[in-house]
Amino acid sequence: MKKFTTILAVGMATIFAGCYVDNEEELYPGGGGDCDLTNISYSGTIVPLLQSNGCLGCHSGGAPSGNISLEGYTNVMTAARNGKLYGAINHSPGFSPMPKGGSKMTACNISKIKAWIDAGSVNN
């Protein structure tokens, strides 16, 4: 009986170890193989990402949310260089996760913004 219990336990452990579901975000934190990080530009990549993800809805105008405006290059560059832009969209500890109460940007879009920041946040 003891031998049967041991074999059963090993068999169950093998079965449960095989029941693993891969999470794309964990496997490919940069967004996987389909994320093109070449030719990232402020006007062609960053502005459209901020617009399509609703960032400008709260972070523009006369009274931007959190006093952080993402309207215009100078404001976006400031948020990029002081770490607030990446920290917020990446939901990093110590930053208010953006969008507030919404879903996080895709890993690929976050990687595109990070690539632009790492390249010096240039106005291109």
Mean pLDDT of each 10-residue bin along the chain, 124 residues long: 64 51 48 81 97 94 94 97 96 94 93 97 96
Residue 3 included in any domain: no
Residue 33 included in any domain: yes
Amino acid letter, 114: K
Burial class of 9 by CB neighbour count within 10 A (0 to 12, 13 to 18, 19+): exposed
Quick one: pLDDT at residue 15?
57
Domain count, the chain: 1
Residue 40 included in any domain: yes
Residue 21 included in any domain: no
One-letter-per-residue 3-state SS of 39-100: CCCHHHHHHHHHHHCCHHHHCCCCCCHHHCCCCCHHHHHHHHHCCHHHHHHCCCCCCCCCCC
Residue 44 included in any domain: yes
Quick one: pLDDT at residue 39?
95
> Token digits for 71?
């309207």
Quick one: pLDDT at residue 13?
54
> Which residues span the domain enclosing 104?
28-118
Amino acid letter, 95: F
Quick one: pLDDT at residue 61?
94
Whole-angstrom distance, CA of residue 113 vs CA of residue 44: 12
